[in-house]
Copies of this chain bind each other. A is one copy, B any other.
Amino acid sequence: MKFLDIRDNSFEDAFAAILARSEETGRDVEQIVVDIIAEVRSRGDAAVLDYTRRFDRLEADSVHSLEVTEVEFNEAFARVADEDIAALKLAVERVARFHQKQKQETWLSTDEPDIMLGQMVTPLQRVGIYVPGGKASYPSSVIMNAVPAKVAGVGEVIMVAPTPGGEINPHVLVAARLSGVDRVFRIGGAQAVAALAYGTATIPKVAKITGPGNIYVATAKKLVFGQVGIDMIAGPSEILVINDGSGNPAHIAADLLSQAEHDELASSILITTDRAFGERVAEEVELQLGQLSRESIARKSWETYGAVIVSGSLPEAIDFSNRIAPEHLELAVTDPFAILPQIRNAGAIFLGHFTPEAAGDYLAGPNHTLPTGGTARFFSPLSLDDFVKKSSIVYFSEGGLNRLGRSIVHIAQLEGLEAHAKSVSKRLK
């Protein structure tokens, strides 16, 4: 952990080391993924089976046999405690309610008597959701991807999840069913992404693929972008807490650690106007680290990418935040709403002393898929927008075309596009 003062001359250099944590995709990873995609495109199901055998140690006669059956769903529900099902149901309900508020309506303008213009909103017809296998197989991840798709009106949601050795997390299956996922296939890796993007005899081709994954999955998503839509390319997670000396240092330490336990590459930063408060938080982090089951991950993250920064003022802390565009931003200050409109770049903003970031991870309602690594400068949280697309609507009556036609012809001609001009002039009186 670095204890820094933003006003020091050495600050920029010291902080640069914390920012430099994104993994660049090696050209070797890319070549492997290029080959996998080419194989799946040309050999379809057979290639998917080969890679599943090789990477997931899972033998299957057909991709069809890798689809999760109704019996398996029922078994999963039987294995999961009622209390767990209730908590997941609450999450599904709250996430659905929030995303319903993101709905955009089709509109048509009628302010000109002879021309109508508009925008039609339609759901994607079929989407694929990637769910990582093994320990990173989280039911919350299923909910955060599937629920917005279903609320948007997507016709069919296909989930893929690798099951190394055949084992599938029952909570993930329960979450899939509660979220309205239509079909689940036990496949993963770049081969699953390729199958969804291009379709095989068994896996239907989708319009968009969302969801987190390892470097092979992320690379495959980047490579099929354009063939299908993808969600943002997420990197390691991060949190920034802005503090004014108010609040409980133990709470803020716990929030920093909730980020650090995710991943050794995760980054947890506190920026506070109160040096003494910052010191107490740092002490609390050390105390709480020793009590965590994931201590070694959290400690590595905190030591390498953790920081407590002292700033001269709240505006200075806010400027810093806007510059790094954090994925998660906590406004742990006395009056968080007063500074909300000064925040320009952030994935999700958690206001006040009783809104730990973890609340947003599960069931507050907003999506937990957020832009990382400074990409909140241009990316948005996963939302209903990701599962719809728009079409422009243009209607000219004969009168409308006569009113504007000469100007259209004029611009077409100055661009040297004669056939464009003629398509209008032929219709003019």
Q: Is A407 among interface residues, defined by CB-CB distance under 8 A?
A: yes
Copies in the complex: 2
The stretch that binds B, out of A51-59, A270-278, A303-311, A364-372, is: A364-372
Q: Is A350 among interface residues, defined by CB-CB distance under 8 A?
A: yes
Residue of B nearest to A259 (CB): B419
Residue of B nearest to A116 (CB): B351
Q: Is A349 among interface residues, defined by CB-CB distance under 8 A?
A: yes
Q: How large is the interface on A (under 10, 10 to 19, 20 to 34, 35 or more residues)?
A: 35 or more
Residues of chain A from 399 to 425 with CB closer than 8 A to chain B in the complex: 400-401, 404, 407-408, 410-412, 414-424
Residues of chain A from 334 to 372 with CB closer than 8 A to chain B in the complex: 336-337, 340, 343-367, 370-371
Residue of B nearest to A31 (CB): B27
Residue of B nearest to A250 (CB): B426
Q: Is A84 among interface residues, defined by CB-CB distance under 8 A?
A: yes
Complex partner residue of A254 from B119, B260, B417, B422, CB under 8 angstroms: B422
Q: Is A69 among interface residues, defined by CB-CB distance under 8 A?
A: no
Contacts A124-B377, A414-B171: A358 and B258 contacting too (C-beta < 8 A)? no
B340 A393 Cβ-Cβ under 8 A? yes
Q: Which residues of B contact A360 (CB under 8 A)?
A: 392, 394
B420 A354 Cβ-Cβ under 8 A? no
Give, as a whole number of angstroms, the nearest-CB distance from A29 to chain B: 15
Contacts A261-B419, A390-B383: A117 and B408 contacting too (C-beta < 8 A)? no
B391 A258 Cβ-Cβ under 8 A? no
The stretch that binds B, out of A10-18, A135-143, A177-185, A186-194, is: A135-143
The stretch that binds B, out of A71-79, A224-232, A312-320, is: A224-232
A418 B294 Cβ-Cβ under 8 A? yes
A414 B84 Cβ-Cβ under 8 A? yes
Complex partner residue of A391 from B101, B291, B349, CB under 8 angstroms: B349
The stretch that binds B, out of A60-68, A85-93, A160-168, is: A85-93
**CA distance in complex: A108, B391 (Å):** 28
A407 B87 Cβ-Cβ under 8 A? yes
Give, as a whole number of angstroms, the nearest-CB distance from A409 to chain B: 9
Q: Is A243 among interface residues, defined by CB-CB distance under 8 A?
A: no
Complex partner residue of A396 from B84, B355, B422, B426, CB under 8 angstroms: B355
B257 A392 Cβ-Cβ under 8 A? no
Give, as a whole number of angstroms, the nearest-CB distance from A350 to chain B: 5
Q: Is A42 among interface residues, defined by CB-CB distance under 8 A?
A: no
Give, as a whole number of angstroms, the nearest-CB distance from A317 to chain B: 17
Contacts A292-B418, A345-B122, A415-B139: A423 and B257 contacting too (C-beta < 8 A)? yes
Q: Is A201 among interface residues, defined by CB-CB distance under 8 A?
A: no
Contacts A91-B411, A404-B363, A423-B356: A393 and B293 contacting too (C-beta < 8 A)? no
Q: Which residues of B contact A352 (CB under 8 A)?
A: 395-397
**CA distance in complex: A219, B261 (Å):** 37
Q: Which residues of B contact A404 (CB under 8 A)?
A: 90, 359, 363-364
A394 B348 Cβ-Cβ under 8 A? yes
Interface residues of chain A, those whose CB is within 8 Å of chain B, are 83-84, 86-88, 90-91, 98, 101-102, 104, 107, 109, 115, 117, 119-120, 122, 124-125, 135, 138-140, 171, 207-208, 222, 225-226, 228-229, 232-233, 250-251, 254-255, 257-258, 260-262, 288, 291-294, 298, 336-337, 340, 343-367, 370-371, 375-381, 383, 385, 389-398, 400-401, 404, 407-408, 410-412, 414-424, 426-427
> Shortest 6 CB-CB distances between A and B: which pairs?
A229-B378, A366-B392, A254-B423, A348-B392, A380-B390, A358-B420
10 more CB-based (< 8 A) A-B contacts, given A124-B378, A138-B415, A348-B394: A87-B410, A87-B411, A102-B119, A117-B365, A119-B366, A139-B414, A348-B392, A355-B401, A366-B393, A380-B390
